[in-house]
Structure 1
Amino acid sequence: MADGAVYKTLMSVDTRGSGGYLDGAKKRMRARIYDLAHASFEAAGVARSMLHLEDRGDGFIAAVDARIPPVRLLGTWLAEVHQRQRTGNEDLARPLGLRVGLHVGPVTHDEEGLSGHAMDLVCRLADSEVTRTVLDRSGRDLVLVVSESLHHEIVRHGGRFVEPSAYRPARVELKEGPVTAWFHVPGEARPAVPGDEGFDTLPVDAPSGEHGGGASTGAEAEGRPPGRGPGHAEAPGDRPFADGPARQAAGKEAWPVGAGSGAHWDITVQGGPSVVQDRATFQGPVHFGGGTGAAGRGDGDADGRRSGDRAAPPGTRLEGHGDDLTDGRR
């Protein structure tokens, strides 16, 4: 260990596809990263005075004071980042994707910043091709990669928000030679890693390479596709489905409102897809039935509605749960 080096938890945070952001969108992307990272540090009890952080343009590296147990960063800090990132990504056409590397080792501080083999290792892990592919293959927006030593000393013993079975090992080729690293994708019980069947085949909607998703425009940063103004009326095929790529939905769907509630809606969709989420958006026209089931019977009028049905005019946005239904118009 070099003179003056001290053991700390070392961190590297990189942004997925950062080279594809235009300057204005990159500025907003960087602000999001720091907002969620610092809010998560605060929630994990890591004061600014216990954190040395250096900007890297599309992310940052950091050394956390040894008084902070590494398990707190693996658990509470990562859980906070995950939840805050999910919330922030809901309004973005291009979700913020992050690769996070963690390692514990000696690091040296000088007037220029952090240095040492341990710092090099955590940066190379976060930036490795395997880490990029694990994130892309997952179809999610956050991946954690930890060193073999950190896994052996901390992760395998578990802890608050740390589930050892959710980590999987893989060999990673670095400039210095191959090493074993352990991967975790928050929200997945066991992430796919090299050697798994189909690992080299990306999901249809996964980003591709460093520039996955293409250049990010100001419109994307505001949560709408390029070329769409805030008042643009979306065509029926514009919105993705909650459970995968867009597909044409025709006819009638039965949607249970809640387990054990005994209530459900019959939804007839004419001329467009239906999008069903916790707060649902339906494009139509859409007709809500009176609760007789997907194959409901009853007297109907000329346009197929049953007695007592409510018809939503084309373009109406309906939101709500169960009986609490509003048309979303302002």
Structure 2
Amino acid sequence: MITHAQQAHLLFADIKGFSSRSDRDQLRSREDLYAELCSAFTDELWQLCPHEDRGDGVLVVVPPALPVETLFTDVLPRLERGLGGRRRSDPLLRLRIAVHAGAVHRDSHGFAGNAVNHVFRLCDGEPLRQAIDEAASDTALLVSGVVHDSVVRAGLPGVEPTTFHAVEFQVKETHARAWLHVAGDNACALRIAQESAFGTDDGRDEDKRGGVSVSAGRSVHMDGAVVAGGDAHVSVPSAPRSRWWRGTR
């Protein structure tokens, strides 16, 4: 049975390095993830939010009755503190987190729709993967343009817009802009955003995009490009790299 779509916020939390762990450690990581999420949301809020298991992560549907700024001012800070408090535990638990909003469908198999697809792709994008690899903190967060406009840029109490930085990402056929936030490590988020926007990734962007850098002492013409005044960068797009209501628990 397919129900009418409802507007909701979506949070997806994914465990870093999950597939490289033994079966025993994967099961322990899953137990730890649910325990930390339940603590971060508090038992009462967790019961209000339908969620769906995704193996190495959890999709949480935040109902309209829960003010979305609560995610940013209460839930996510508690989650970061909780993970930080278990830093020496084994296995280590570090999370990539994506937040999006849109129309969410529910059928007899679980949650579905383009909004659900998009939050998964946010979480699978290279900027968020790089952030959790390099950050000093235990969470890295990527929010969609919809969430940035309605929550972050709106300047809701407790949400600091200057700690969210625009990045570009591409996963499958999705190519979009999102905003990266790394709790307690703003320098990491800013560096990744600058690399995303300006290609200062120590030359690695050249390899990923097939770009060609050209210098000349004067203006010259090439097929499809002009070098005016000395320097230009010509990008040759490459094929995109591929990566992707059961009831309340």
Using the size of structure 1 for normalisation, the TM-score is 0.56
Aligned to 2:95: 98
Aligned: 1:153 with 2:150: yes
Give the aligned residue type for 1:9: H
Aligned to 2:23: 23
Give the aligned residue type for 1:181: A
Aligned to 1:56: 54
Give the aligned residue type for 2:178: A
- The count of residues paired between Structure 1 and Structure 2 equals 198
Instruction: Please report how far the alpha carbon of residue 200 of structure 1 lies from its aligned counterpart in structure 2 after TM superposition.
Output: 5.8
2:79 to 78, 81, 91: 81
Q: 5+ residue gaps in structure 1? A: 203-330
Instruction: Please report how far the alpha carbon of residue 24 of structure 1 lies from its aligned counterpart in structure 2 after TM superposition.
Output: 0.9
Q: Is the 8 A contact 2:98 2:142 kept in 1?
A: yes
SS in structure 2 of the partner of residue 157 of structure 1: coil
SS in structure 2 of the partner of residue 150 of structure 1: helix
Q: Is the 8 A contact 1:101 1:145 kept in 2?
A: yes
Q: Distance in 1 between matches of 2:33 and 2:200?
A: 31
Q: Is the 8 A contact 1:107 1:116 kept in 2?
A: yes
Q: Distance in 1 between matches of 2:133 and 2:203?
A: 10
Q: 5+ residue gaps in structure 2? A: 205-249
The CA deviation string for residues 96-140 of structure 1, in whole angstroms up to 9 with x for no partner, is 110011011110111110000001000110111221012212243
The CA deviation string for residues 229-277 of structure 1, in whole angstroms up to 9 with x for no partner, is xxxxxxxxxxxxxxxxxxxxxxxxxxxxxxxxxxxxxxxxxxxxxxxxx
SS in structure 2 of the partner of residue 73 of structure 1: helix
Q: Distance in 2 between matches of 1:201 and 1:74?
A: 34
Greater share of helix residues, 1 or 2? 2
Aligned to 1:168: 165
1:198–1:85: structure 2 CA closer, same or farther, 3 Å change rule?
farther
1:87-126 pair list within 5 angstroms:
87-89=85-87, 91-92=88-89, 95-126=92-123
1:286-305 pair list within 5 angstroms:
none
In percent, how many aligned pairs have the same letter? Answer: 28
Higher relative contact order (CA 8 A, sep 6+): 2
Instruction: Please report how far the alpha carbon of residue 157 of structure 1 lies from its aligned counterpart in structure 2 after TM superposition.
Output: 2.3
Aligned to 1:185: 182
CA RMSD for the aligned pairs? Answer: 2.2
1:47–1:92: structure 2 CA closer, same or farther, 3 Å change rule?
closer
